[in-house]
Chain A
Amino acid sequence: MSAPLIPNLFAVCKVLTGAIIWIVQQILYALAGPVPPLKGLGDWIGSDFIVTILTWFIVVTVVVLWVSVINLFTIMWVERKLYSRLQDRYGIMISVWSLPFWPFNRTHRPTHKGMGYLQNLADGVKLIQKENITPRNADSAMFHISPVLIASSTLMVFAVLPWSSGFYVANLDLGILFILAAFSLAPLGILIAGWSANNKYTLVGGLRAAAMLLSYSIPMVLAVIALVVFTGSLNPITIVQQQDRPIVLLGTTLPIPAWYVFGPQVIGFLVFTVAMIAEMERVPFDIPEAEAELVEGWTTEYSGMRFGIVFAFKWLRMLAASALISILYLGGWSGPVFTTLSVGGIGVPIVPEEVWFVLRIYLLSAFLVWLSWSIPRVRIDQILNLGCRRLIPYSLVAILVAAGFRAIG
């Protein structure tokens, strides 16, 4: 059993909101002498309704920053550095040593030194400076809306995706269903983007994305149905709690955690992982954006920061997919807690749940990066064949197995 670092994100953020509101209230009360209505305003701000609404804003902001700044940059760095090392080269090297205002002696510090964590930031700054070009015959409104649609539907996943048993925005009973629904929205945005750009390559890319949606979302959802039959819950936190115990086989307790991948659901795990790789358009299955065949696929006509958005959203999807795979099959954030420190009477775990979860996400992402940089791209008809003739039957078998185990008890 493990313990979260943040027992309840909402409560933590409420303390923060309360502190901010208290400061504002003190200012308003101080000004209430010359301007009497301000006292009423201060009282109204301190009311429970306003505090709750502001807390929700802060909770969402914290999670968006955590996901799309800290984790997105880290996962981009992991991928770019790792595939460079797989190709026997150094890869990105822009880091704090490259900053122009670095205060130390720079003559002995070459600019291209270091681990390259700031390269993505530099690329983002560069992309913001670029001109945003819209093709003359494009459907301008849809062309500009679809990156927003794609990126926001992927961010919606993180509204429900928990990072530990306390670090989440919302705890829905149908959380997994919401995550899958939000995850499957992006191919629609890709289709709109491909159609509206009025370019043959983007159109082919968009239609390929639609074909992939048909052949890969079905086995993905079927595999999740098998898991739901097995677990009897659609709540991610409940699913992780069920895996947080050792396997008991014939009365003996084995030193193996009871993750669903170590059980009959391994079929579902394989189907779900393959379908997820296709869903997040990674290289063996990245046919909507097959740069050797279709220039740059459906992203061909995007420029400037819009290109940055449609390019970075794939890493966001990789983050969401890795998190989902670890929650459903790899035990989520369960792990040994070792020991807790007592800080002012509050027990703080040394290795909290968040660390285990993030570690699992990055190991899984590294595996996906390794996979996609060592396997060539598969042709579209072969992908559709694999989806319809292999994955769907396997996921049906997974449902059958799950139903059998459920019936036995």
Chain B
Amino acid sequence: MNQNFPRVGGVRNDLPENFEAMCKRSIEHFLEKVKHEYPQIFHESKVFRIRTEGVGKISATEAINWGVTGPNLRACGVNVDLRRLDPYEVYEEIDFEPQVWHDGGAGDSYARFVCRFNELNESCQIILQALAKMPKTGAYRVKPPRRAEGEGYAKTEDSRGEALFFVIGDGDDRPYRVKIRSPVFCTMAATPILLRGNKLADVVSILGSVDVCVGEMDK
């Protein structure tokens, strides 16, 4: 999302010293909180449930028609995840489970929150597996920006849905044109459906559950 760190074909800096130990330590701390503390504050709390259950409902058909992807679509009960359907990079080697809402009441704020919340745990597992399989020596920094002519197209599953990148290069170290299909932009197009029939106070919980990011929406 931020343009200052990722580059076409890699990232800007190498990993810092002691990355593995520091990463493991913070994941340990985070998993502890995810397992024992946060559920009590959030989705096990009754006040949280009455604010989110049945609020901002969208059906799977409508969600697909409006181009909603990612956790918001998985919360409608559709098992869709680019990392599984069309694995890119090293996702084939990693064992994880896309979090899909299976119970009743799919597509409301509560389902979206629970899907995202369970993804916290899954993401930590992915990071731990990646740390174990990562090469232990050598620079992790990927090559300097590629100079290429022609068109390229890639799709990734980012934290808010499917992000598609279409790049045209003209041989310079910067691309000639980049078109980004940002998932938040498409999700925000579906807000009239999400907001219909809800109260003013529910706008907060709906927009919070679809995970609005204005910087990413404006692409």
> What is the bound-complex CA distance between A377 and B50, given in angstroms?
10
Q: Cβ of B41 < 8 Å from any Cβ of A?
A: yes
Interface membership of B201, Cβ < 8 A: yes
B51, CB-defined interface residue at 8 Å: yes
B139 within 8 A of partner (CB): no
Is the pair B51, A293 in contact by a Cβ cutoff of 8 Å? no
Whether B91 is near chain A, meaning CB under 8 Å from some CB there, is no
- In angstroms, Cα B203 to Cα A395, docked, is 33
* B41: contacting residue among A290, A374, A378, A382, CB under 8 A: A374
Quick one: which of A295-328 are within 8 Å of B by CB? Answer: none
Expressed in whole angstroms, the Cα–Cα distance for A284 and B50 within the complex equals 12
Shortest Cβ distance from B200 into A: residue: A293
- Residue pair A292, B47 in contact (C-beta under 8 Å): no
The CA-CA distance from A382 to B51 in the complex, in Å, is 9
| Residues B47 and A290 in contact, CB atoms below 8 Å apart | no
Distance (whole angstroms) from the CB of A371 to the closest CB of chain B? 11
Q: Interface size for chain A: under 10, 10 to 19, 20 to 34, or 35 or more residues?
A: 10 to 19
**A380 and B47 contacting across the interface, CB-CB below 8 Å:** no
Name which of B48, B51, B200, B201 has the most chain A CB atoms within 10 A of its CB: B201
Closest beta carbon of chain B to A358's beta carbon, Å: 31
Structural contact, A382 and B200, CB atoms closer than 8 A: no
Interface residue A379 (Cβ < 8 Å from any Cβ of B): yes
Q: CA of A292 to CA of B41 in the docked complex: distance in angstroms?
A: 19
CA gap between A284 and B47 in the complex, in Å: 9
Give chain A's interface secondary structure class: loop
> In which size bucket is the chain B interface?
10 to 19
**Which residue of chain A lies nearest to B203 when distances are taken between CB atoms in the complex?**
A293
Contact with A along B46-68 (1 / 0, CB 8 A): 01101100000000000000000
Inside 8 A of A374's CB, which chain B residues have their CB?
41
B51 A376 Cβ-Cβ under 8 A: yes
Known: A374-B41, A375-B45, A379-B199. A292 touches B204 (CB 8 A): yes
Partner of B50, one of A290, A292, A378, A380: A378
Evaluate contact between A290 and B48: CB separation under 8 angstroms.
no
Report whether A379 and B203 are in contact in the complex, using a CB–CB cutoff of 8 Å. Answer: no
With A374-B41, A375-B45 as given contacts, are A290 and B51 in contact (CB-CB < 8 Å)? no
B48 near A380 with CB under 8 A, answer no
Interface pair A293/B50, CB less than 8 Å apart: no
CB-defined contacts of A204 to chain B, threshold 8 Å: 200
B41 contacts which chain A residues (CB < 8 A)?
374
Q: A292-B204, A293-B203, A293-B204 are in contact. Are A379 and B51 (CB under 8 A)?
A: yes
Cβ of A48 under 8 Å from chain B: no
Within 8 A of A (CB), among B19-75: 41, 45, 47-48, 50-51
What are some 15 contacts across the A-B interface (CB < 8 A)? A204-B200, A284-B47, A290-B201, A292-B204, A293-B201, A293-B203, A375-B47, A376-B45, A376-B47, A376-B48, A378-B50, A378-B51, A379-B51, A379-B199, A380-B201
Measuring CB to CB, which residues of chain A are less than 8 angstroms from any residue of chain B? 204, 284, 287, 290, 292-293, 374-382
